[in-house]
Chains A and B, each alone.
Chain A
Amino acid sequence: MISTAPKPVSPRATARSMYLLHHLLAPNAGYRRLAAWLEARPRLRRVFTAAEKEVKQELFGCQMCAQCALPSTGYACPMTCPKQLRNGPCGGVGADGSCEVYPAMRCVWLVAFERADRQGRSGDLLRLQRPIDHRLWGQSSWLNYWQGRDSNMWADADGRAAAS
Chain B
Amino acid sequence: MTTFRTTLESGAFTVTAEIGPPRGADAEAIGRKVTPLRDWVAAVNITDNQGASVRLSSWAGSLLAMAAGVEPIMQLTCRDRNRIALQSELLGASAMGIPNVLVMTGDHPKFGDHASAKPVFDLDSVQLLWAARTMRDERRLLSGRALDPAPGWFLGAVENPSAPPAGFRAPRLGKKVAAGAQFVQTQYVFDVGGFRQWMSEVRDLGLHERCYILAGVGPISSLRALGHLERGVPGVQVPDAVARRLRGVPADRVAEEGISICAETISELRQIPGLAGVHVMAVGAEHRIPLILQRAGVRPLHDPRPAAEGAAAARAAVAGGG
A94 engages B110 (CB within 8 Å)? no
Known: A122-B168, A125-B168, A131-B142. A86 touches B124 (CB 8 A): yes
Q: Which B residues lie within 8 Å of A164 (CB)?
A: 144
Q: Report yes or no: A91 in contact with B160, Cβ–Cβ below 8 A.
A: yes
Instruction: Encode A93-110 as 1/0 by CB contact (under 8 A) with B.
Output: 111010011000001011
B150 → A minimal CB distance (Å): 15
CA distance A23 to B77 in the complex (A): 38
Q: How far is the CA of A85 from the CA of B83 in the complex (A)?
A: 14
A84 to chain B, nearest CB (A): 5
Segment of A37-45, A144-152, A154-162 in the binding face? A154-162
Answer whether residue A35 sits at the interface, using C-beta atoms and an 8 A cutoff. Answer: no
Q: Which residue of B lies closest to A95 (CB)?
A: B237
Decide yes or no whether B167 CB sits under 8 A from chain A: yes
Residues of A close to B179: CB separation below 8 A: 128, 157, 161
Q: Does A114 contact B (CB under 8 A)?
A: yes
When the two chains form their complex, are residues B165 and A113 in contact, meaning their CB atoms are under 8 A apart?
yes
In the bound complex, do residue B110 and residue A85 qualify as a contact, i.e. CB atoms below 8 Å apart? no
Interface size of A by CB at 8 A reads 40
Q: Cβ of A128 and Cβ of B165 under 8 Å apart?
A: no
Contact (Cβ within 8 A) B175 A88: yes
Bound-state CA distance A92–B107 (Å) is: 8
Q: Which B residues between 183 and 213 are near A, CB-CB below 8 angstroms? A: 187
How far is the CB of A69 from the nearest CB of chain B, in Å?
12
Question: Are the CB atoms of A91 and B127 closer together than 8 Å?
Answer: no
- Asked if residues A110 and B165 are in contact (CB atoms below 8 Å), the reply is yes
What mask results when residues 219 to 256 of chain B are scored 1 for a CB within 8 Å of chain A, else 0? 00000000000000011010000000000000000000
Q: Are A161 and B234 in contact (CB under 8 A)?
A: no
**Residue of A113, A134, A160 touching B168 (CB-CB under 8 A):** A113
The docked-state distance in angstroms from the alpha carbon of A135 to that of B165 is 32
Q: How far is the CA of A163 from the CA of B20 in the complex (A)?
A: 36
- Which single member of A82, A97, A157, A161 contacts B108 (CB below 8 Å)? A82
Interface size on B, residues (CB 8 A): 41
With A92-B107, A161-B179, A163-B134: A87-B127 Cβ-Cβ less than 8 Å: yes
The reply to whether B172 and A88 form a contact with Cβ atoms under 8 Å apart is yes
**Inter-subunit contact A95/B126 (CB<8 Å):** no
Q: How far is the CB of B195 from chain A (nearest CB, A)?
A: 14
A84 touches B121 (CB 8 A): yes
B175 touches which of A95, A114, A128 (Cβ 8 Å):
A128
Q: Does B9 contact A (CB under 8 A)?
A: no
Q: Which residues of B contact A129 (CB under 8 A)?
A: 126-127
Most A Cβ at <10 Å: residue of B108, B138, B165, B235:
B165
Q: Digit string of B138-175 for contact with A (CB within 8 Å is 1, else 0)?
A: 10001010000000000000111011110110011011
Question: Residue on A with the closest CB to B160?
Answer: A91
CA distance A28 to B254 in the complex (A): 67
Residues of B within 8 A of A159 (CB): 178
Q: CB within 8 Å of A: which residues of B?
A: 78, 83, 105, 107-108, 110-111, 118-119, 121-127, 130-131, 134, 138, 142, 144, 158-160, 162-165, 167-168, 171-172, 174-175, 178-179, 187, 234-235, 237
Which 6 pairs, one residue from A and one from B, show the smallest C-beta to C-beta distance?
A92-B234, A91-B160, A87-B126, A100-B234, A157-B178, A92-B235
